[in-house]
Amino acid sequence: MIDTRKPSFPRRLSHALLWLLLAGLTIPALAQSVSAPTAVIAATVKETTWQDPVEALGTLRADESVTLSSTVTGTIDAFNFDDGDAVSAGQWLVQLDDDEVQAELRAAEAVQRQRQSALDRAQQLQDRNLGVRATLEDNAALVQQSRAEIDALRARIADHRVRAPFAGSVGLRELSVGALVTPGTELVTLDKLDIMKLDFTVPATLLAVLHPGLTLEATTPGYPETIFRAKIAHLGTRIDPISRSLVVRAVLPNDDGRLRPGMLMEIHLAQPARSALTIPESALVPDGERQTVWKLGGLDEETPRVSRQEVTIGERRTGQVEILRGLDRGDRVVTHGTLKVRDGDAVDLIAVDPPASRIEDVLERQRRAMRSSATSSQPAPGTPD
């Protein structure tokens, strides 16, 4: 059986008091959550000196480099270097067996002496008007022929001894004495390493700012902490019609010999300085394909408000971004707290342009203030992201 009796007056009174108590606790908390401004950190749009860096990859080459090869067929008799030796120009490096050619040279020299003797006798007879002029001329021609044959044999002998065409450092020896080599067989590499050439490509649009003598900086993974400085020596005479790029050659000293041909280097080249409006990169709020920021308005009021502002950006570097359109010098934008604000929200500006090293201290002070405010049940702004 259902009890249809109405609640007594005391019970109705207790219910009313409970609702009033709950309302008293909830409404202030709700008002606090609605009205409390969000704590943010802001940055000022500044006009700074901006240099657009040009980055490229280049390959090192020796100032002079050659792979010495054999031009004849023969066996190796001797080497006149050790791996990595510094050699002088004209120093012989590899000797091939030349016994056969030396024997041919001795035979040719004997024939020359014989023909020279015949020429001398013909000359004596001619001087006494006892000889025939034609015989003298024939003997002279034979002597000239012998001299030419001897010169050819000496050139062949020289081909059996490989010499350094310039001073430099030899590479590793891959062959041994007694090895048979043929024309084209690579014997040893020779590089002039005191000066290195650095070849790289840049867009043809930079042609106006590039010139011989311009200094650039280069780094290589082999020495990550070292910055090498080079000077542009030559600009290519042709622009690639496909990539629209230009080959640039720089030279850099290598007196200590640390750099090697074939090393990859990253080149950093600064263009002429220009003025640009910049903000911290953390202020950007992507919105699809657009870039926006939270711009602070009403800065002369006690509680400023934010509005979403679309911007056009340019170059980025080291935490900064260039603003091409959308902001003016002196404007302020939110850098920390961008995820907690909405268009038209009131904000509590807890810091403006703090150094990067002090941002964490600012946030920590805000967290302590929030905890203290929560303990005392006083409204406190939120902490920026």
Which tens digit of pLDDT belongs to each residue from 167-208?
999 999 999 999 999 999 999 999 999 999 999 999 888 888
The pTM of the full predicted model, rounded to 2 decimals, is 0.58
Report whether 219 contacts 226 (CB < 8 A).
yes
Q: H/E/C letters for each residue in 4-47?
A: CCCCCHHHHHHHHHHHHHHHHHHHHHHHHHHHCCEEEEEEECEE
Q: Flag whether pLDDT at 30 surpasses 60.
A: no
* Nearest one of 264, 329, 325 to 61, comparing CA atoms: 264
φ and ψ of 135, to 5 deg: -65, -40
pLDDT of residue 113: 92
Class of domain 37-50+275-375: mainly beta
- In the prediction, which pLDDT does 300 show? 62
70-94: average pLDDT: 93
Amino acid letter at 309? Q
Cα–Cα distance for residue pair 228/252, rounded to 1 Å:
8
Beta-ladder partners of 79: 94
Q: Where are the domains of the chain?
A: 37-50+275-375, 54-62+193-273, 98-159
pLDDT in tens, 296-348: 986 666 778 899 999 999 888 888 999 999 999 999 999 988 888 898 888 88
More confident residue, 15 or 36: 36
As a three-state string, the secondary structure of 219-250 is EECCEEEEEEEEEEEEEEEEECCCCCEEEEEE
- If you search the block for the tokens 């002029």, which residue do you land on? 133
- Please give the average per-residue pLDDT across 57-83, as a whole number: 93
What is the average pLDDT value for the chain, to the nearest integer? Answer: 84
Residue 373 binned pLDDT confidence (cut-offs 50, 70, 90): low
Per-residue confidence at 22, pLDDT binned at 50, 70, 90?
very low
pLDDT at 95 exceeding the cut of 90: yes
CATH 3.40.50.2300 at 54-62+193-273, yes or no: no
pLDDT, one tens digit per residue, over 219-238 is 999 898 899 999 999 999 99
Q: Which long-range contacts (CB under 8 A, 24 or more apart) does 223-231 make?
A: 223/258, 228/252, 228/259, 228/265, 230/198
Cα–Cα distances in angstroms (integers) from residue 380 to residues 277, 366, 372, in the given order = 34, 9, 9
pLDDT of the residue at 17:
47
Q: What are the start-end ranges of the H helices in the chain?
A: 9-35, 99-127, 133-159, 359-375
**Measured between alpha carbons, how far is 254 from 223 in angstroms, rounded to an integer?**
14
pLDDT digits (tens, 9 = 90+) for 236-275: 999 999 999 999 999 999 988 899 999 999 998 877 778 8
Candidate CATH numbers 2.60.40, 1.10.3470, 1.10.287, 3.30.450; the one for domain 98-159: 1.10.287
What CA–CA distance (Å, rounded) separates 119 from 281?
96
Whole-number pLDDT of residue 23: 45
User: Which residues contact residue 307 at a Cβ distance below 8 angstroms, ignoring those fewer than 6 apart?
Assistant: 294, 295, 297, 343, 344
